[in-house]
Amino acid sequence: MNHVHQFQVKRLQPSPDSNHYPFGDKSESFMDVLIDGRSMYDMLKQHDRIPCFGWGNHEFQQQNIDYFLLEDMHPYLYYRYPLMVCSWCGDEDCGFISVFVERTGDLVTWQDFKMEPDDRSLALGPFTFT
């Protein structure tokens, strides 16, 4: 059996002078994903994307929640889901980081992280949660 990782979320409000903010003067807060206490945002910030959770309109939020609960399938990525998106608009056309999500019984695994639309694999994961 794979190691089961601890999953948490934490609101992050980057400021222009912090290390958590490479995006000019946009100051959107978002829900950072913590895996075993490590920030997903920090692990991937060199790609200039932020987690898709905790910001944007209600429809955007609900769609992302439904994806990661595997209640809705992405229209063209199927079991891959956009995890890290453009900090300005969240639009997938700006590029995003996707992850393959699989549920087996009570376990959910995130694996095969990719920079999209380049389909470039990122050396991260897999992570298994209960």
What are the tens digits of pLDDT across the range 61-103?
899 999 998 999 999 998 899 999 988 888 899 999 999 999 9
Report DSSP letters for 94-127, one per residue: G-EEEEEEEEETTEEEEEEEEEETTTEE-S---E
Q: What φ, ψ does residue 126 adopt, rounded to 5°?
A: -75, 160
Separation CA 104–CA 34 (nearest Å): 22
- How high is the mean pLDDT of the chain? 87
- Residue 23 confidence class, pLDDT cut points 50, 70, 90: very low
- Say which residue, 83 or 56, is predicted with more confidence: 83
Spans of all domains in the chain? 7-129
- What pTM was computed for the model? 0.85
Tokens of 35: 């895996």
Classify residue 108 by its DSSP letter: E
Read off φ and ψ for residue 44, nearest 5 degrees: -125, 10
> What is residue 24's predicted lDDT score, i.e. its pLDDT?
47
81: three-class secondary structure by DSSP:
strand
Please give the structure tokens belonging to residue 30: 């978002």
Torsional sign, CA 30, 36, 37, 40: negative
